């Protein structure tokens, strides 16, 4: 009988050579304390440094380590997705490989899960080593997103979380290309709760989220979970219509009363024209964001391409990326291993 892991730890890796060894040690320390079987899925998102070699070496030294090598860099959220696709634990835990999410917090996530919670997300009570601007923009962003969406996406929460196998099974069916995984797990429902932790400083290397990627990520989040940007256009058009009526009225009255040409001159016209054009182009941009994403979804390309794997020989190697497998329905996933650790896989 194949021993089925109770916990699948999923970590995306993009040029984390200096972190991997220590990350593995810390995961091992945290999970070995549970006395239950676990696996660590490292998804190499097209790293160009020593990471792939280190991952291979780690996998050779410990058969609980599974490695997925992407054919190129597909992005953080896609890497997390591939990990979830291949995970088979009764609980799946998402964590960054740069030690900003301390593996020592994992037992706390597990404790909540054992008490019956299906998604345990880790809330950043404090963020260390991140610039003022990143902290403040993240704070504003999560609160704004919370307001404009109907899905209850908790604030100050990254992907660091634990989800029950039944939640992971639903995620596997959600094959959208522009992914905001933390929002998608909220969307699934079931019992969800948060615990607070201190987000540490990156141990080694630099953030892979420059401004450009952060903005794209924020746009993915908003367009995936809200139509608010499209809906505000109607209010703005109403305001402008009312304003134009008022201005017309005032000009008429002034002309009749004083007989003079107010608001005259080309300068006024030009300024107004430019202002309105800017407005319109801005809203065209917003529409473009939705249209472009709709196009991406209809093309329905695979989410990722796998170049090679290590330690996953027994697992479905779904290089097509559409890894939802009809033989692994939500029911069988949830039933295969119980929360209490009873393994009935293969029975």
At 245, list the tokens.
């009526």
What angle (nearest 5°) sits at the alpha carbon of residue 145, between those of residues 80 and 115? 55
Supply the minimum distance, in Å, between the C-beta of residue 205 and Mg ion.
9
Near Mg ion in 86-125, by CB under 5 A: 96, 98, 100
* Cα pseudo-dihedral 61, 65, 101, 307, rounded to 10: 110
Supply the minimum distance, in Å, between the C-beta of residue 333 and ligand UDP.
25
Instruction: Choose the contact partner of 75 out of Mg ion, ligand UDP, none; CB within 5 to 8 A by kind.
Output: ligand UDP
Pick 4 or 57: Cβ nearer ligand UDP = 57
Q: Tell me, by CB under 5 A, how many residues bind Mg ion.
A: 3
| Nearest CA among 40, 27, 211, 18 for reference residue 133 | 211
Pick 80 or 165: Cβ nearer ligand UDP = 80
List residues bridging with 69 in a β-sheet. Answer: 44, 308
Instruction: Choose the contact partner of 14 out of ligand UDP, Mg ion, none; CB within 5 to 8 A by kind.
Output: ligand UDP
End-to-end Cα separation, the chain, in angstroms: 9
Supply the minimum distance, in Å, between the C-beta of residue 98 and ligand UDP.
4
* Order of all β-strands in the sheet with 38-44: 192-199, 119-127, 157-164, 91-94, 7-13, 38-44, 65-70, 306-310
- What lies within 8 Å, CB to CB, of 87 at 6+ separation is 8, 10, 39, 41, 168
At 200, list the tokens.
């540490």
Instruction: Choose the contact partner of 97 out of Mg ion, ligand UDP, none; CB within 5 to 8 A by kind.
Output: ligand UDP
List residues bridging with 65 in a β-sheet. Answer: 40
Supply the minimum distance, in Å, between the C-beta of residue 77 and ligand UDP.
8
Supply the minimum distance, in Å, between the C-beta of residue 66 and ligand UDP.
16
Is residue 85 a contact point for Mg ion (CB under 5 A)?
no
Q: Which residues bind ligand UDP (CB under 6 A)?
A: 12-14, 16, 45, 73, 75-76, 79, 96-98, 100, 207-209
- What lies within 8 Å, CB to CB, of 317 at 6+ separation is 306, 309
Supply the minimum distance, in Å, between the C-beta of residue 160 and Mg ion.
10
Pick 23 or 38: Cβ nearer ligand UDP = 23
Q: Which residues bind Mg ion (CB under 5 A)?
A: 96, 98, 100
């Amino acid at each position: 009988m194949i021993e089925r892991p109770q916990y699948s730890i999923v970590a995306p890796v993009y040029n984390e050579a200096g972190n991997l060894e220590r990350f593995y040690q810390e995961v091992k320390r945290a999970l070995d304390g549970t006395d239950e079987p676990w696996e660590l899925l490292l998804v190499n998102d097209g790293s160009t440094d020593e990471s792939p070699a280190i991952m291979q070496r780690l996998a050779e030294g410990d058969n609980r380590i599974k490695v997925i090598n992407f054919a190129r860099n597909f992005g953080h959220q896609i890497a997390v997705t591939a990990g979830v696709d291949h995970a088979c634990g009764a609980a799946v835990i998402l964590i960054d490989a740069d030690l900003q999410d301390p593996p020592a917090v994992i037992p706390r996530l597990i404790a909540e899960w054992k008490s019956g919670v299906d998604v345990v997300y880790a809330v950043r009570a404090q963020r260390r080593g991140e610039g003022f601007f990143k902290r403040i923009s993240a704070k504003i962003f999560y609160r704004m997103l919370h307001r404009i969406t109907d899905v209850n996406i908790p604030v100050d929460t990254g992907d660091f979380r634990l989800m029950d196998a039944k939640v992971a099974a639903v995620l596997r069916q959600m094959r959208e290309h522009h992914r905001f995984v933390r929002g998608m797990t909220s969307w699934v429902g079931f019992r969800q709760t948060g615990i607070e932790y201190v987000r540490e400083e990156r141990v080694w290397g630099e953030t892979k989220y420059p401004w450009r990627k952060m903005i794209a990520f924020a746009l993915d989040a908003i367009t995936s979970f809200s139509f608010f940007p499209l809906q505000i256009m109607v209010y703005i058009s109403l305001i402008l219509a009312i304003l134009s009526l008022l201005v017309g009225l005032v000009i008429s009255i002034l002309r009749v009363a004083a007989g003079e040409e107010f608001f005259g001159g080309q300068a006024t016209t030009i300024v107004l024209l430019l202002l309105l054009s800017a407005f319109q182009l801005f809203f065209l941009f917003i529409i473009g964001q939705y249209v472009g994403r709709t196009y991406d979804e209809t093309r329905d390309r695979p989410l990722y391409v796998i170049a090679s794997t290590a330690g996953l020989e027994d697992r479905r190697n779904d290089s097509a990326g559409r890894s939802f497998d009809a033989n692994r329905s939500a029911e069988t996933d949830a039933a295969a291993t119980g929360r209490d650790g009873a393994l009935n896989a293969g029975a």
